[in-house]
Amino acid sequence: MQKIIDRFISYVTIDTQSDPNSDSTPSTEKQWVLANKLVEELKQIGLEDVSIDDNSYIMATLPSNIDKKVPTVGFISHFDTTPDFSGTNVKPRLIHNYDGKDIILNKENNIVLSPDYFDDLLLYKGQTLIVTDGTTLLGADDKAGICEIITAMEYLVNHPEVKHGPIRIGFTPDEEIGRGAHKFDVNKFSADWAYTIDGSQIGELEYENFNAAEAKITATGKSVHPGYAKGKMVNAIGLIGEFMNLLPKKEVPEHTEGRDGFFHINQLHGEIEKAELELIVRDHDKSLFENRKKLLKKIISDLNKKHGDYLSVEIKDQYFNMREKIEPVFHVVEIAKEAMEGLGIEPIIKPIRGGTDGSQLSFMGLPCPNIFAGGHNFHGKYEYVPVESMQKAVDVIVKICELIARK
């Protein structure tokens, strides 16, 4: 456990926030700092074919230690952190033998991690938690996954009595801005299937995710002195407001769960002459997803018929539900499930209410379910990870490799 703690802390104290407004890969130069460190660490623990390309994608191999031919399995995580909350000057703190009570993250600013609000904390009474100081995120998403993969590979290198086939490792930049798989070379990776180690609570095993699109609504208006505006002014802000009022009121993130889809407005800005609204569209069901996009177009069409052609919509698909690519090779899920059960971990199989590199990779020809990394409350100051969950993730990775070799 101490090795996991030390390794994890060495990662999270390096700022690796990605930037959606950058066109480069990686989107921020500072991601190279951790990327280069990981390359050296993979070499030091004894992996082969360690490489990093011009876009900071890292790959490495642990060769098979058995005679028979078995499938090549991959394990993938990302090293960037979200731009949604500061990842600069992270100061992780250990809470030993957690007592189930409030954790004061920052006394000066009265920032408290409380089980009254985050009741998942009570699952980890008696365990060791790594928390923030209340001013930054932690970075368990997904530096916990990287830590677990490297620790598992180091264990296999040092314990050749554990039999396994060929294993491929991949670490990516820019997952948090939706580009983690964009330049991933699936042919070079050359695995039969892989697992992203990027889930949350211990036991999570996911092979479904949202179908996703982004939409931009633009309204153009006509500015006239408000005292003489009757019949002349067209207020672009008002048009956007009317559009918003026509969206389904309860089909938003704060009122949905499970497989429910939603519309989510995430940016709004404008003036009388021009206003823009950006939103995302999500649904697990492909036909419902298509209907949601049609609804946006219909609302715009109806408003233009009512007011004139002042509104436009641009919709771009982002990623799709990987379930359709996983189900034909469902044994990859069953192996992970068996590994967890063999370790006394109850698998929590549920759809991801978000996206994953595994979705894009699955559609690129690399089936890639998602496994827990152990962290909670990602993308904010209340993020934490139980060290015991990280240890269990290491055990699951090792057990998967054992099972593939045995089967």
Angle between helices 387-406 and 2-12 (to 10 degrees): 110
Query: Cα 386 from chain centroid?
Result: 18
> Which of the residues 15, 19, 41, 80 is marked catalytic?
80
Q: Which residues contact 290 (CB under 8 A, 6 or more apart)?
A: none
Give the tokens for residue 323.
Answer: 């379930």
Note if 257 is an active site residue: no
41, 141, 175, 176: the catalytic one is 175
DSSP letters for 49-98: EEEE-TT--EEEEE---SSS----EEEEEE--B-TTS--SS---EEETT-
Output the CA torsion sign for 119, 371, 40, 56. negative
d(CA 322, CA 212): 11
In single-letter form, the type of residue at position 230 comes to: K
Q: Is 71 buried (19+), middle (13-18) or exposed (0-12) by CB count in 10 A?
A: middle
239-to-94, 135, 273 alpha-carbon distances in Å: 51, 38, 11
End-to-end distance of the chain based on CA atoms, in angstroms? 30
Helix (H) or strand (E) holding 277: strand 274-283
Q: Which H or E run contains 291?
A: helix 286-307
- Of 260, 259, 224, 264, nearest to 244 (Cα)? 264
327 is catalytic: no
Q: Which residues pair with 268 in a beta bridge?
A: 277
- The residues carrying an active-site annotation are 80, 175
